[in-house]
Amino acid sequence: MISRLLSAALAAGFLAAVVSTGLQLSLTSPLILEAERYETPDAQAAMTRSPALPIVHAHLQLVHGGHDHGAAPDAPHAWQPGEGLPRMAFTGLATLIGGVGYALLLGAVMLALGREPTPERALSFAIAGFLSVALAPGLGLPPELPGSEAAPLAARQAWWLMTAAATAMGLYLIAIRRAAISIVGGLVLIVAPHIVGAPEVAAAKSELPAGLAAQFAARSLAVGFVFWAVIGLAYGWAWQVFGRGRAASGPARA
């Protein structure tokens, strides 16, 4: 069972990384390069990334380092891959690591709930994963470009974790438990983080055009949805394939 879970997760993570990396390089990476033109040395020293590390934005942490606003202006920058092929390679590597990790989590959750992973069922769980770790947190903390003003990193991470956990639990109560009281409780959990509100900066000082930031957020969430959808479909398919392989080899060993 464990080897089948790992094999299916590796296959799903690889396929999702290939598709997602291609979309990132064609849709979001050009916007990142454009946004870097608006950065100042002070902005680079203070730059932070959205805590929605998942999904599709993990490569931004590797590429840009993720400095906090509390860093000193003369603090040394974290290592960054070079332009061109090195950046593309690290984008793909970060996406692959994230894809395999999320595929493992997806499979473990389905098995823990007693759901046999089929492509259709795994896709529905993957969409729930996208809603929990990407879309719901993104409503308060949209994916950010370099040079964007942001609240302190610790506050954003705490709100992201709270929102992701509350949304996942709420979806579980609504879609799995399905009792009337569970549905009400699930809705409360989903809405509660947004009533509390995401941490915000005191004043926006970024020179980044609002249209560019909005375009990046929309494209990132769209790529994230494709990323999760491919994970779900590929995991369900790989689970079935590796299961048939084991069934076919069982009698031969006997």
Instruction: Break the chain into its structural domains and give their ranges.
Output: 2-253
Q: Can you give the pLDDT at residue 46? A: 40
List the structure tokens of 44. Answer: 């680079």
Q: What is the mean pLDDT of the chain?
A: 81
The residues, any chain, with a CB within 8 Å of residue 139's CB and separated by 6 or more, are 194
Average pLDDT in the 172-181 region? 94
Q: Can you give the pLDDT at residue 76? A: 47
List the structure tokens of 215. Answer: 């375009």
Poorest-pLDDT segment among 24-28, 59-63, 128-132, 187-191: 59-63
Confidence category of residue 250, pLDDT binned at 50, 70, 90:
low
Instruction: Report the percent of the chain where pLDDT is more than 70.
Output: 75
Q: Give this prediction's pTM.
A: 0.79
The residues, any chain, with a CB within 8 Å of residue 26's CB and separated by 6 or more, are none
Poorest-pLDDT segment among 49-53, 82-86, 117-121, 194-198: 49-53
What is residue 150's three-state secondary structure? coil
Q: Can you give the pLDDT at residue 203? A: 54
Residue with tokens 């296959």: 11
Q: Can you give the pLDDT at residue 17? A: 95
Long-range contacts of the stretch 210-214 (C-beta < 8 A, 24+): 212/31, 212/34, 212/35, 212/145, 213/35, 213/142, 213/144, 213/145, 213/148
Q: Can you give the pLDDT at residue 73? A: 38
Q: Which of the two residues, 22 and 88, has the higher pLDDT score?
A: 22
CA-atom Rg of the chain in angstroms:
20
Confidence category of residue 108, pLDDT binned at 50, 70, 90:
very high
- Other CB atoms within 10 Å distance of the CB of residue 166: 21
Instruction: Report the percent of the chain where pLDDT is more than 90.
Output: 54
* Cα-to-chain-centroid distance, residue 224: 6
Confidence category of residue 120, pLDDT binned at 50, 70, 90:
very high
The H-assigned helical ranges of the chain are 2-23, 29-36, 41-46, 58-64, 85-112, 119-130, 136-140, 153-172, 180-196, 210-253
